[in-house]
Chain A
Amino acid sequence: DTEVTQTPKHLVMGMTNKKSLKCEQHMGHRAMYWYKQKAKKPPELMFVYSYEKLSINESVPSRFSPECPNSSLLNLHLHALQPEDSALYLCASSLGPINSPLHFGNGTRLTVT
């Protein structure tokens, strides 16, 4: 079991759809992350929020739009995705942004058709 909750667990969307992934933690962590993971590959960092401000954007295409409404919530808004965006999207949190272990959610398995 994980203390980082992600919804939905699975998502299938067409290339013209708009959808959102949600992530929630109640551990008082002040850094939250989005990672993308393809099969048999390591997680790749997409975004980092530190104290509710976007601190890192790893040159992610604008069809992915992150949002941090408060210190416990993290969203990833999806629009006009491509089939190659199909992957496991992992949310993580850590106590702070520096050298703190990451706590991952179970992930959202996204399929773009």
Chain B
Amino acid sequence: GQQVMQIPQYQHVQEGEDFTTYCNSSTTLSNIQWYKQRPGGHPVFLIQLVKSGEVKKQKRLTFQFGEAKKNSSLHITATQTTDVGTYFCAVGGGTSYGKLTFGQGTILTVHP
């Protein structure tokens, strides 16, 4: 199935600083999804990107899909303590319908 590399593994920021996590694939992706998991919680769907070069915004969060559809990023502007958690990208399995594979995740810590 398709695999994706996610970096960094950990990110510590001061409240108010920006944060970015990246996902990279060696193959062209049909789409990519992003999830957030709060400490002790379950993954929650944030967004799905489908089109080449797509950029979507949700308040302070900006999601991008690369022109070649091989990479994606999630950028948070002016982090808040409520942004704490693990951010995962996830990619579909091509012909393996339903096989969604998660990246390793980026654990974000925000210091007040």
Contact = CB atoms under 8 A, between A and B. Distances in A.
Interface string A97-110: 11101111111000
Contacts of A45: 99-101
A42 B105 contact: yes
Residue of A2, A40, A50 with most chain B CB atoms under a 10 A cut-off: A40
A50 B42 contact: no
A102 B100 CA distance: 9
Contact of A55 (B31, B97, B100): B97
Sorting the interface of chain A by its residue count into under 10, 10 to 19, 20 to 34 or 35 or more gives 20 to 34
A103 B44 CA distance: 7
A43 interface: yes
Given A2-B42, A42-B88, A99 B99 contact: no
Nearest to B107: A40
A104 B43 contact: yes
Contacts of A105: 42
Contacts, number: 60
Interface residues of B, number: 25
Interface string A49-73: 0100001100000000000000000
A85 B100 CA distance: 21
A101 B45 contact: yes
Contacts of B48: 99, 101
Given A45-B100, A99-B50, 12 more contacts: A31-B98, A41-B105, A45-B99, A50-B98, A56-B97, A90-B43, A94-B98, A97-B97, A99-B30, A102-B43, A102-B45, A105-B42
